[in-house]
Chains A and B, each alone.
Chain A
Amino acid sequence: MKSLDNCYRRRWELYTTELCVYDSRQTNYKEIEEEVIQIETNVEGKVYIINKFDHDTCKGLIRWRFGGQKWINNILVKIDEWCIGWHDGEICHMKCIQFKDGSMIEKDFDLKEYEAHL
């Protein structure tokens, strides 16, 4: 399995095309040649699903993760946030999921900043 380590046993994504379901622990999203129509993210027992057909103005699904480090109340915290969502050609409408506990908040991002992840 590709890049499977202990911390990913409780965190993974499933990418659904019209024909197949791919597991993020084995397949990089960008290496899937068919159009992905659903992303299912499993983090710490919580499941979040984005389906292309749930959004009338959807022009495609998009996903990335945030890394880095930040300080919260003088404690250094590793940034590890998974973002899955869809875009309308201008705005990415994302569910941002915390790696540690699976909590989620919805955020919008300018597609221009993230189009490399398409």
Chain B
Amino acid sequence: MAAPTTRFRTFPISVTAAELNTTTERLAAISGESVVSTGVGNELDFGIVDISAGAANSLVKMLVWDITADGGNTLVDTFKFWLSLNGFDQAGTIVKYQPISGSDNAAPSTTENYIENAVVASYTWTTLDESEPGAQNVYPTDEGSSMVLSTTADDVVMIALYTAVSADETTGTYKGADAGYEFQYNFQYSYS
């Protein structure tokens, strides 16, 4: 069997909750979506965070991961997402995350339902690990430990993120492997 083919997407936080409240909608093209990859211009861009008046937060960004070709496999699980490398000088500069579901998940536990035009106060956040988590730390929208594959996945992993920047952080553009300004994530899953 071949490895599954996966993709990362982002979409504007102005997308309404009604546009994301079914699995079919989340798997299909989401309004305003774009591919996230390591290619220049495809980064998940947190924008400019102005710390001239002290510590500040970035905008909230959305990240979606799913499978587009199963490669002969029937299941993916143990999803792990972490901030593998960063060039931040201040320990207080961190990335916060929250797994997100649609409103079709009526009793979210390990996720929270998507909120249109979310701000930092909209969700309950956890500091993103900076090394491989010991266990699954992001979840499909149904909060299962796995997703079934039949050509594509039957669900997506959706994550809200923001960056909290300390007042004394070194200013500059943090991205990719730029020396001193690294900003890189790892994503791992198991499949069979």
Residues of A that sit less than 8 Å from B by CB: 2-3, 5, 7-8, 24-25, 28-30, 63-71, 74-76, 79-80, 83, 110, 113-114, 116-117
Contacts and interface: CB of A to CB of B under 8 A. Distances in A.
16 contacts: A3-B71, A28-B72, A64-B190, A64-B192, A65-B3, A67-B4, A67-B191, A68-B6, A68-B80, A70-B186, A74-B184, A80-B3, A83-B190, A110-B135, A113-B78, A113-B135
A30 B74 CA distance: 8
Contact of B188 (A29, A70, A114, A116): A70
Contacts of B77: 114, 116-117
B111 to A, nearest CB: 18
Contacts of B2: 3, 5, 7-8
Closest 8 CB pairs of A and B: A3-B72, A74-B177, A68-B188, A70-B186, A64-B192, A64-B190, A71-B184, A116-B146
B182 A74 contact: yes
A71 B145 contact: no
B68 to A, nearest CB: 13
Given A71-B184, A116-B145, A116-B146, A28 B74 contact: yes
Nearest to B80: A68
B13 interface: no
Interface of B: 1-4, 6, 38, 71-78, 80, 84-85, 135-136, 145-146, 177, 182, 184, 186-192
A114 B78 CA distance: 7
Contacts of B80: 68
A79 B85 CA distance: 16
Prevailing SS type, chain A contact patch: mixed
Contacts of A71: 84-85, 177, 184, 186
Contact of B1 (A28, A80, A116): A28
Contacts of A25: 1
Contact of A63 (B71, B177, B187, B192): B192
A91 B148 CA distance: 24
A51 to B, nearest CB: 20
Contacts of A7: 2
Contacts of A8: 1-2
Nearest to A12: B1
A66 B188 contact: yes
A63 B73 CA distance: 12
Contact of B190 (A24, A75, A114): A114
Given A3-B1, A3-B72, A71-B177, A117 B190 contact: yes
Contacts of B71: 3
A117 B107 CA distance: 27
Contact of A76 (B4, B38, B72, B78): B38
